[in-house]
Chains A and B, each alone.
Chain A
Amino acid sequence: SAVISQKPSRDICQRGTSLTIQCQVDSQVTMMFWYRQQPGQSLTLIATANQGSEATYESGFVIDKFPISRPNLTFSTLTVSNMSPEDSSIYLCSVEEGGKSWRRTFGSGTRLTVV
């Protein structure tokens, strides 16, 4: 299965600043996904990022707040913009090899704390 390297693993940021999270995959994948895992909550899909097209955002998430780049088939970034303490969460990237949900792999996550 694909191996995902996600950076940073954790960060503490000041409110009002932005953080860019990187997701590197060791193989080419069409679909990459960004999730948020708030404390004590389940994973919530933020957006789907396909190479060469605009990311598709889920309800409640907007591009201005969570801009996503997908420059090639092995890399994506998620930026958390103008952060507030409510953005403190774990952010995870995920890929599906061959578009198959049973070949879904997750990165180890970025634990973000906004102070």
Chain B
Amino acid sequence: AQSVTQPDIHITVSEGASLELRCNYSYGATPYLFWYVQSPGQGLQLLLKYFSGDTLVQGIKGFEAEFKRSQSSFNLRKPSVHWSDAAEYFCAVEGGSYIPTFGRGTSLIVHP
């Protein structure tokens, strides 16, 4: 069975500061890993994904994530946060069932 944990319910950062959102997964092999963003009243938008190869993945809106097998982690990072980045962020893991399991989400608050 696959599972994913996002340990932080809320993260507050100042605009222009760096950001790291944590995601840990559990799966017996190397899974597919995703980060999605959900703005208020919107559906989920794919930020980036990892399937194989380079463990540092670049996504849209200046986000990147690094897959670390030894730590079973796939943390999302951005060097400089903009006020428009305030949203809910979901990590998802997909194993052999090809059905994703989502984390409970991390709410990002950006202070001016």
Residues of A whose CB lies within 8 Å of any CB of B are 4, 6, 9, 40-45, 48, 92, 94, 101-102, 104-109, 111
Residue on A nearest B98 in the bound complex, by CB: A101
Cα distance, A32 to B80, chains bound together (Å): 36
Binary per-residue interface labels of chain B (15-45) against chain A in the complex, 1 for a CB within 8 Å, 0 otherwise? 0000000000000000010101000011111
| Extra 17 A-B pairs, beta carbons < 8 Å, given A102-B51, A108-B43 | A6-B43, A9-B41, A40-B9, A41-B104, A42-B104, A42-B105, A92-B43, A94-B43, A94-B44, A101-B100, A105-B43, A106-B36, A106-B44, A106-B45, A107-B43, A109-B41, A111-B41
Binary per-residue interface labels of chain B (80-112) against chain A in the complex, 1 for a CB within 8 Å, 0 otherwise? 000000000010001000111111110000000
Residues of B whose CB lies within 8 Å of any CB of A are 9, 32, 34, 36, 41-46, 49, 51, 90, 94, 98-105
Are A42 and B90 within 8 A (Cβ)?
A: yes
Report chain A residues within 8 Å CB of B49: 102
Are B102 and A101 within 8 A (Cβ)?
A: no
Distance (Å) between the CB of A34 and the closest chain B CB? 12
Chain A contact surface mostly? strand
Number of A-B contacts (CB under 8 A): 47
Report chain B residues within 8 Å CB of A105: 43
Enumerate the 5 nearest inter-chain pairs by beta-carbon distance, A residue then B residue, closest first: A106-B43, A42-B102, A106-B44, A42-B104, A43-B102
Report chain B residues within 8 Å CB of A48: 99
Residue on B nearest A102 in the bound complex, by CB: B49
